[in-house]
């Protein structure tokens, strides 16, 4: 039954109204990095432009550059002009830029942190930022412990009554289970769990949140969302780009740590979890943790995992370097740029339904999707030739770039004959809604400033994800051979096709 409330505006759970952050300072460490330039600074501007930041807001950049405040303001300005989602408006920029400051220095340098303390104190005074501070660590993971320790030593992690101090950590959260635990030990020794915001930007994507809307706001899908009807699930995150300028970061970790441990396993959790009692952070996390705890890496790692490395060649009409020829990549690197993994979920809903996860750089196109493949109808009252062109029914959640949902089923080809062919029924975000989707980082930064935790994985989820991935990574590390090369612009190495063929499936070519 639907309860109609007299005044929905009074309901604290009413999330339809835009929520505006309270006064605060956002400090970004590593402000010269790619993430900051392309995503964080533009997202801050977009939030300001949408009226979601308060007048008492300030942005502090911290990096190893000999910049004055104006230099940094120019950097933010250029990043915003180039990458912001919403149009540039002079008056918004003027107001935002008044609260911009820069602190030069190294993470390990005490003096730089003393300057940061002073800068923040000035801002609290001059801009009325209320003593509320968020520290965004957009820095190499190896520097997290030092940064957190500096924040502790300078008293920046302390929270006075009525004020808050939060730390934001970008993935990868650790390098394996052990290091993730160690990192957590360090962070939780300084910040209480409710002040730690781990960013997995996939959770900020509209279409990722729509997985929950689709599953739990409708009656249509949930009855078939189980092993009675689904025979396998494919989760794909394909990119057509190579590693770009991120050689140092990427070669040290590989694609499984880069995106499977976080984005893909989060997509799996949202697809497979039970319905939470509510969307309150605790409830949601419990369900995600339960399903991740039931997810198993393959016991036959040689048969049900595949890894690859892109070779040089032609892709999208241009000649591209192979991974081993990229700048700053050792010519004998064994780092994988493609990974495919079978995961089984040992619970009543999913027993017997393999989940296949795959991701890769330099693949045929950029696409992220979750495809549920259905079992054949138990009986087809047609002749075999009638249904020759009928594939399996499917529900495809198109996460990006062409956001929406596709249902695939069989329909009769017009004419006097009985011939059944598969057709698609599409919902496209662009066709149904006039609003354009906010960038994931807009939503996540706003949630940090609001202190709203549902979209941030907790440490338990991080640990469970490493428990799934660690045996696979150890197995790959033990192999003497290089990852299998694959053509740029292809759908990955042959080994991944063989892996699926073992179970009688083939990968989708979205």
| Residue 119-158 contact track with ligand BG6, rule CB under 6 A, x = bound | ----------------------------------------
Tokens for 341? 């993994």
Listed residue (177, 501, 211, 470) closest to 354, CA to CA: 501
Are the C-beta atoms of residues 96 and 72 closer than 8 Å to each other?
no
* Closest to ligand BG6 by CB, 92 or 267: 267
- Measured CA to CA in angstroms, residue 464 lies from 180, 336, 338 at distances of 10, 22, 22
The encoded tokens of residue 332 equal 């004998």
H helix or E strand, kind and range, residue 425: strand 420-428
Q: Which of 311, 321, 256 is nearest to 475 (CA)?
A: 256
Size of the site for ligand BG6 (CB under 6 A): 4
For the segment 307-326, give every residue that binds ligand BG6 (CB under 6 A).
Answer: none
Binding positions for ligand BG6, 222-251, rule CB under 6 A? 239
Instruction: Judge contact between 63 and 29, C-beta under 8 A.
Output: yes
Dist. CA 30–CA 28, nearest whole Å: 6
Query: Is the CB of residue 170 less than 8 Å from the CB of residue 137?
Result: yes
Rounded least distance, CB 488 to ligand BG6, Å: 15
Among 83, 263, 379, 459, which one carries the catalytic annotation? 263
Of residues 368 and 465, the one with the C-beta less far from ligand BG6: 368
Interface map 354-373 toward ligand BG6 (x if CB under 6 A): --------------x-----
Least CB distance to ligand BG6 at residue 262 (A): 7
Going from the C-alpha of 327 to that of each of 243, 339, 440, the distances in angstroms are: 10, 22, 30
H-helix or E-strand spanning residue 207:
helix 206-216
Per-residue tokens: 236: 């794909």
Measured from the CB atom, the residue of 119 and 236 that comes closer to ligand BG6 is 236
Q: Minimum CB separation from ligand BG6 for residue 503, in Å?
A: 27
Each residue 59-98 as x (binds ligand BG6 by CB under 6 A) or -, in order, gives ----------------------------------------
Peptide bond into 316 cis (omega under 30): no
Give me the least distance between CB of 354 and ligand BG6, in Å please.
24
Does 258 help bind ligand BG6 (rule: CB under 6 A)? Answer: yes
Annotated active-site residue 232? The verdict is no
Q: How far is the CB of 440 from ligand BG6 (least distance, A)?
A: 7
With CB under 6 A as the contact rule, the residue among 123, 183, 230, 259 that binds ligand BG6 is 259
- Which positions are annotated as active-site residues? 263
Residues that bind ligand BG6 (CB under 6 A): 239, 258-259, 368
């Amino acid at each position: 039954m639907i309860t109609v409330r007299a005044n929905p505006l009074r309901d604290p759970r009413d999330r339809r109204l835009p929520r505006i952050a309270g006064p605060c300072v956002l400090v970004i460490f590593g402000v010269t990095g790619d993430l900051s330039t392309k995503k964080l600074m533009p997202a801050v501007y977009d939030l300001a432009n949408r009226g979601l930041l308060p007048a008492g807001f300030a942005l502090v950049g911290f990096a190893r550059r000999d910049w004055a405040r104006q230099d940094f303001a120019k950097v933010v300005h250029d990043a915003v002009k180039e990458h912001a989602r919403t149009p540039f408006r002079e008056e918004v920029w003027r107001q935002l830029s008044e609260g911009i400051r820069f602190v030069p220095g190294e993470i390990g340098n005490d003096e730089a942190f003393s300057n940061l303390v002073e800068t923040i104190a000035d801002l609290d005074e001059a801009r009325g930022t209320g003593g509320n501070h968020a520290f965004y660590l957009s820095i190499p993971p190896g520097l997290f412990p030092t940064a957190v320790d500096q924040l502790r030593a300078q008293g920046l992690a302390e929270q006075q009554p009525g004020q808050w101090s939060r730390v934001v950590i970008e993935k990868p959260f650790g390098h394996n289970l052990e290091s993730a635990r160690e990192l957590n030990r360090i962070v939780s020794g300084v910040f209480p769990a409710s002040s730690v915001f781990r960013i997995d930007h996939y959770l900020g994507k509209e279409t990722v949140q729509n997985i929950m809307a689709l599953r739990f706001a409708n009656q249509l899908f949930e009855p078939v969302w189980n092993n009675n009807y689904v025979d396998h699930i494919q989760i794909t995150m394909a990119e057509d780009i190579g590693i770009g300028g991120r050689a140092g970061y990427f070669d040290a970790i590989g694609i499984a740590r880069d995106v499977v441990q976080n984005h893909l396993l989060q997509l799996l959790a949202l697809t497979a979890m039970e319905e939470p009692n509510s969307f309150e952070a605790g409830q949601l996390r419990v369900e995600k943790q339960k399903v991740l705890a039931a997810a198993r890496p393959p016991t036959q790692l040689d048969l049900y995992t595949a890894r690859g490395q892109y070779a040089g060649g032609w892709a999208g009409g241009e000649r591209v370097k192979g991974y081993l020829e990229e700048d700053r990549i050792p010519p004998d690197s064994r780092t994988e740029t493609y990974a495919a993994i079978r995961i089984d979920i040992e619970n009543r809903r999913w027993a017997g339904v393999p989940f296949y996860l795959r991701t890769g750089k330099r693949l045929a196109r950029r696409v992220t999707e979750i495809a549920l493949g259905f079992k054949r109808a138990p009986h087809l009252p047609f002749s075999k030739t009638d249904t020759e062109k009928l594939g399996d029914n499917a529900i495809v959640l198109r996460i990006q770039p062409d956001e929406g949902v596709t249902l695939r089923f069989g329909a009769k080809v017009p004419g006097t004959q009985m011939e059944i062919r598969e057709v698609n029924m599409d919902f496209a975000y662009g066709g149904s809604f006039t609003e354009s989707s906010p960038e994931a980082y807009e939503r996540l930064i706003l949630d940090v400033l609001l202190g709203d935790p549902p979209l941030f994985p907790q440490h338990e989820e991080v640990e469970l994800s490493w428990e799934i991935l660690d045996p696979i990574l150890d197995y790959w590390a033990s192999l003497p051979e290089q990852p299998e090369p694959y053509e740029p612009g292809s759908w990955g190495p042959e080994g991944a096709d063989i892996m699926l063929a073992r179970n009688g499936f083939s990968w989708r070519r979205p």
